[in-house]
Amino acid sequence: MTIDLQTLKCGECGSNALKRTGLNQYACQHCGSVTLVEDNVSDRLDRVLDQVKNAAGERLAQEQALKQKMVMRNAGIAVAAVLGVGLVAMVASLISARDEHPRTQPARASVVDRTIPVDGLRLGEPRQVLVGSGGSAQARLLVVARNETGKPLERANVKAVFYDGDTRLEERGESLPIGVLQPGESAPVLIDLPRATTATRQELQVQRLSAPYRSAEGPRLVFERVRLVQQGTDGARLVGRIANGKDNSATLAGIEALVTLYDDAGNVIGIGHGYAQASELKPGARTSMDIGIRSFGRGAAVAAWDYRIGYSTLEANGARVAVLSPDRVIRAVGAPEVFNPELRMGTEDLLADESERFDQAHLELLPLIPGLNTIRQRTYMTELVNRSKDQIAIAPAAVISRFDGSKLDGTTVLGGPAYLYPGERFPVQIDPSRADRITQTRVEWKPMRRAALPGPRTPLEVTIDSTRATTGSVLLNFSQRFTYKAVDIKGSVKNPGTGIVRKARVWVSLRDREGRLTGFKMVENLPAIAPGESAPFEVSIQQQARDFATVEAVYQSTE
């Protein structure tokens, strides 16, 4: 007789009532058949039988738990019914007592109604504008709202319903871009136009108006230092610094600003809204804001602008109280400062005080060095040198305009290391676009900050271990092959400090016998370097000018 080990059934009668009766011996309790099995099969069968028993025990426990749950549920329903009857009786008793003694009931606390009539928010004549430029320009409806309610308004909302004749198309709404609109203030709002191009008119509606939930009178906030700058034609930026005076005991929160640009006729041609970088500003602390401004009205120049700052105070329990400040709109006349659109300027670069700025007179761009690239095309090299004796230039950058005679050939962006130390020379590559030569350059520096020695850069030790002159070749268009000279360099970067250097960059430069630049390259993919450890590197640098005689390196490091 055989036993089915897959289904654990008797091979004679099909029953699963199996019982072990001896070593490797099993008996069917239904038909009495006995079977002998091999050792390994027996062990496996024992384990399976144990699993079957355990599963049966678990099913039995689940059934008992389900029965107990049903009993508890029925008991709960009964208790709830009893409590319901008692509650009905209690409510009836209270109603009867109120009817007999109505004057003895305490008065309910009244809820303050913060609703304000909507007709107090006056809406100017709407006009359609294009925000952005080119194919990314988006159509908007510009509306200027004025608060004539005599009360501050919290997040007022304007809705536009669009029609094609008498056919209602769709509606769009937008909140005013400032948390609280003070009495007498005006604010512009941009509302999306409908996707349908058949809209012929729109109706403007002011949504429900309300006063701030918690508010208090307080002083207005103004920027300690503010600059309106423009790069290109797409828009402008307002950067400003805000300080919470030490004599103020309150912590400020939710600091926001609304910026509006105007043309010479007083029409709104740009809107910007943003928040402070710090979410909370304690007494004596300061923070900055960097607000992008969406411009429209392509032919109009900025003639004037204004800004207003809204904020709240933070109470001990975490609640915020909106501060109502009279005459908080600060107006200015004049156009923004214009910078090259290719310059990347940070907020702190623009807001640095004069005492914090690096004197650009200490930066020198060396004369151009002509050379040839791998396919024998004209190229040029130069170097940025920090001539200061004790000041570090922080993130020096510029746009270099190159000319062939009086003809502009294009621009090159100079983006140096994060720190350029006194005496260091940073290599720059300048490739002509169309001209056969470059006769002159014009440099536009970005505003830069400075740092005093020893500076924030983590010191590294860059060692050049070996140099080997080689030649290489490149095939152009499968028809022309060019050969060039190169130098294979092996070196290492050691971290002698006590902290891990997480990001290191090294620029390796080749120099001829006169010390002039003849080729350079940045070493990429250096790993993080632990204290006392070194990271090896290999780099192959093409010689673009005369044969090299020495090798130098400039590094950048951050912890």
**Contact predicate 126/141, CB 8 Å:** yes
Convert the pLDDT of each residue in 116-125 to its tens digit.
899 999 999 9
pLDDT at 93: 46
Q: How far is CA 462 from CA 128, 183, 494, 504, 551, in A?
A: 61, 65, 6, 11, 11
DSSP string, 287-329: EEEEEEEEE--TTPPP-EEEEEEEEEEE-TTS-EEEEE-TT--
First to last CA, the chain: 77
How high is the pLDDT of residue 217? 94
| Angle, CA of 130, 292 and 140, to the nearest 5° | 20
Q: 349 and 447 in contact (C-beta within 8 Å)? A: yes
What are the residues whose beta carbons fall under 8 Å from the beta carbon of 337, sequence distance 6 or more? Answer: 227, 228, 229, 230
Residues with Cβ within 8 Å of residue 503, at least 6 apart in sequence: 526, 528, 557, 558
Task: Write the DSSP symbol of residue 246.
Answer: T
In this predicted structure, what is the pLDDT of residue 338? 94
Mean pLDDT per 10-residue section of the chain, whose length is 559 residues: 53 67 64 55 52 56 62 52 46 42 32 75 93 80 96 94 90 94 96 84 92 93 96 88 88 96 94 96 95 84 96 92 94 95 93 94 95 92 96 95 93 91 96 89 94 93 96 88 95 95 95 95 93 96 94 91
What integer pLDDT is reported at residue 38 of this predicted model?
A: 47
Contact 385, 366 (CB under 8 A): yes
pTM, to two decimals: 0.72
Name 188's bridge partners: 144
- Measured in degrees and rounded to the nearest 5, phi and psi for residue 38 equal -70, 165
Give the per-residue pLDDT at 246: 79
Q: Domains (ranges, CATH) in the chain?
A: 1-57 (no CATH), 115-210 (2.60.40), 215-339 (2.60.40), 354-558 (no CATH)
DSSP label at residue 334 = S
CA distance 345 to 337: 13
What's residue 17's pLDDT? 72
Radius of gyration over alpha carbons of the chain, in Å? Answer: 40
Tell me, what's the pLDDT at 300?
A: 81
